[in-house]
Every structure is written in structure tokens, then in C-alpha cells.
Structure 1
Amino acid sequence: MATREKVLELGGWQTMLVNEAFSIHKAYLRLKADHGRVPWRRVIKNNKASPRNIFILWLAAHQRLATADRVLKWNVQCNPMCRLCNSENESIEHLFFDCHYTNTVWCHTLRAINIHRRGLGFSQEIQEVYRKAHSNTRRARIYVMLFTEVVYLLWIQRNKKVFNNMLQHPERVCKDIIFRVAARCKEEDRMLTDREIITWERLTERIQGQRIPIIVKCIFTFLDESSDSSESSSEMGDANE
């Protein structure tokens, strides 16, 4: 009886027929509630960044990261100041991207796709990402991936500073971000063209107008720097012995 009453509420069986045959798809559409589309759906669906990084972005978009202002609301004693700049209280809006350190990282990362501007507040930046996620251009796809990686790696840097008192230089973080994006983006998005140039002085270049895969430059630069740092660490260890 409950099922029959529900069907009658939805307009009867006739509303679920296609060519006089019952359609599960139409029945599903009639049964499911009419929910509005969330603005972040395409950021999750059309994002080629790693699932872990997308999840951190999702948490940030919902104000669910454990920033100092939220931790204090849980009656847990902690330092309310931003550990990256030590100038203002930490919150999502401050961390992305009112903080001088995070703003520097975001500005340098934007230059990789030839965008020259200062970082905006997180609420404005996330709206821009929502808008970009609806576009299918190369620049828009890379923009969404870059933003995802920036939020993730800046959160990692924040945690390293809070728990280990370690912080990488902004330029090093930018290179890591671009490397991650280059390693996961589509093949066609790795190519530099005359119309869509991904400019990063030390990571990419164009040779006699040829299309150069960005991932090649990113990988070799990243590996060279890793090798240099390993050699330096080895030399320091030998000297200590």
C-alpha cells in the first residue's frame, strides 16, 4: 500500500513509461528529490589532480580544514596566529591567500599560465575556479589543477611548519606544484603552443618554434634539483664524519 500511495503521489505509473514500457530511468528521476546542483561539482568531476588533493580542496571549500580558528572553537588551546607569516590569525580566508607566503606561491604559480595578478581572498578564488571548471579550454583545465595542487601543498607546508617547524621556499613549492600538474594533466595540455604558452623560465622553453612537452622540462628540472640536494646532504654527512 505504501508503494502504491507513493506512485500515486508521483503521478501514477503512466509517468514512468517510455513507449508503453516501464522505464527505470524515468522512475528514478521521479523518485529522487529535486536538489539544486552544487557549484563545486565540476571541480570534483572534471579535475585531473589526484583524488587526495581534490579531497583537501573540497574540505577547504566547505570550511572544514582544521585551521586555528576552528580548533579554538573545539575548546582546544592552540596558537591562533598564522605560522606561515605570524602577522594575522589563521583562518581559511587568511591562509588562502591573504597570507604573504601563500600569496607569493599562488602568484608565482599563476605566472606558469601567463596570468600576472595578486591572489584574491579564498571566497573569490574558489568562485573563479568554479567558473573555470565549466570551461574545456587547456588553460582552464590547467588552472583548476594548479589551484587544487596549490591548496593541497600549502596545507602541507602549513602542517610542516606547525608540527615540524619546517618551511620550504615559495619558489621550491611552485616548482613542485607545476611538476605535479605536468605529471597528471592530459598529453595535449603538456604541449606549448603559440596561442597557449605555459611560461616558466626555468622549467619550460620553446626551441625554434617547436612544441615542447612541459612534462619533459619539469621532470628533468625536478630530478636535477633532487640530485643536487641529495649530493649536498651526502657531502654534509661526510664532513660531519
Structure 2
Amino acid sequence: MAAGYINGKWNVQPDGYTPAGCYKWFKGNKPRVNWCKAIWNGWVIPKHQFLGWLIAHEALNTTARLSSFGLAIEDKCYLCGLSEETIEHLFYDCVYSNGVIRELNKQTRWDYPMRDKLNWYVQRTGTVLQRGVQSAMMMGTLYQIWHQRNKSKNENVLLRPECVAKNFMEEMRSRVRGRDRSLMTIAERDWLKGMRLVE
């Protein structure tokens, strides 16, 4: 990377310094990651986006990650207690998490692509609205699982998978109700009905 300032003069842009130009120079030319649009879109709730970003960067503080830093903690999964709590296990292999996903499959009649593990974001299809809703469903599911994990850890409380799925579906229906239906096509409204997100 070239030096930004040389002899007190901004060396990067011919027209002089701008904050945007400085940010672009500082950030550098990095390739766009393939999960970007699945996480950063208007359908996904911000706290779900942040969790997705942590998962994508493998920066979520699972017990396995914390114990790798030398902390004296047991690295078992707080949801099932059957395995080491890694990102892979917690969201895709844990029997409790799989129970939540099975319940959501039943309630939405949509086959969650989460069996593809951390590559689920490439499975989104359809219109911008449909891809956005799919992202919101998947990111929201990851959040619900993490939320239940934290409740189990901190409060020793764990809801049944069907209750987690039911509560999350109500949250998603509320999110869909907040959108302007007049901007949706008939096919999109029918698709949302098929997902049981609208009446």
C-alpha cells in the first residue's frame, strides 16, 4: 500500500484529501465476500446482522473459542451438552438446534438450506424480496439459537424447540406486516402466504 502522506502532502488522490478517499485508501482493495448481501440487507434485523457478521468471521465467543484463549471453562455445548461448542456444532450439528430448524420447516413449509452449513447464503433464490426474507429467516434462526444458548448458560432456562420456532414466526410475521404490500407482486404475496408469513 502506498503511503498516504509524503512530505506533508496527500499522495493518494490528485484532487486533494477527502474523508471518503482516505477511507477507501485505508480499507484497500479487498474482494467482496459472498455472504455480504445475505447479511447486510434491509430485511435482516440489525442485531441478527451483527451475529451473522461474527459467525462469518468465526469470531463468536463459543466455549471452544474461549477455551482456546486459555480460559478455564468447560467447552461443552450449553444446548445439548453432548459435544464441544463450536460454531459448526452449535448451529448445524446440535440436536437442540436441529429441533428448532425442524419445527421451522414444519411451520413455514420451507426447506431450510442450513444443512449446507456455513454456505447457506448461496442457496437464496427468487426476487429481491424473496432473497431478503430468506436471509431474514436464516439469520433470525441463527440468532434464536444463540439467544437460547445464552439463556441456558446465564439463566439455566431452555425453551422447547417448538416454542422458539413459534415465537420467531410471530416476529417474522410482524416484520412482513410492517412492509408496504402495494410494492409486492401477486407472486410475492402468494409466496409469503406459502411461507405462512401473511394471511
TM-score normalized by the length of structure 2: 0.75
Instruction: Encode CA deviations 1:98-151: one digit per residue, 9 max, x unaligned.
Output: 00110111232234443346842xxx333222452x853443222110111111
Q: 2:149 aligns with which of 158, 168, 173?
A: 158
What is the aligned-residue RMSD (CA, Å)? 3.3
Correspondence for 1:57: 52
Distance change >3 Å, CA 69–CA 50, structure 1 → 2 = same
Correspondence for 2:121: 129
Distance 2:119 2:149 in 1: 23
Distance 1:194 1:50 in 2: 23
Distance change >3 Å, CA 197–CA 5, structure 1 → 2 = closer
Instruction: Encode CA deviations 1:27-52: one digit per residue, 9 max, x unaligned.
Output: 949x7432211223212332422211
What are the ranges of 5 or more consecutive residues in structure 2 without an aligned counterpart? none
Distance change >3 Å, CA 84–CA 152, structure 1 → 2 = same
Distance change >3 Å, CA 193–CA 34, structure 1 → 2 = closer
Correspondence for 1:140: 131
Q: 1:182 aligns with which of 173, 184, 188?
A: 173
Distance 1:193 1:43 in 2: 21
Number of aligned residue pairs: 184
**Higher relative contact order (CA closer than 8 Å, sequence separation 6+):** 2
- Matched to 1:37, the amino acid is R
Distance 1:119 1:86 in 2: 21
Correspondence for 1:169: 160
- Matched to 2:157, the amino acid is M
Correspondence for 1:2: 6
Q: 1:79 aligns with which of 74, 77, 85?
A: 74
TM-score normalized by the length of structure 1: 0.63
Counterparts of residues 79-118 of structure 1 (less than 5 Å): 79-116=74-111
Distance 2:108 2:128 in 1: 12
Asked whether the 8 Å contact 2:40–2:49 carries over to 1, the reply is: no
Distance change >3 Å, CA 136–CA 74, structure 1 → 2 = same
- Matched to 1:2, the amino acid is I
Distance 1:63 1:99 in 2: 17
- Matched to 1:172, the amino acid is C
Shift of 1:171: 0.6
- Matched to 1:75, the amino acid is G
Shift of 1:5: 8.8
Question: Which SS does the other structure have where 2:194 is aligned?
Answer: coil
Structure number, greater radius of gyration? 1
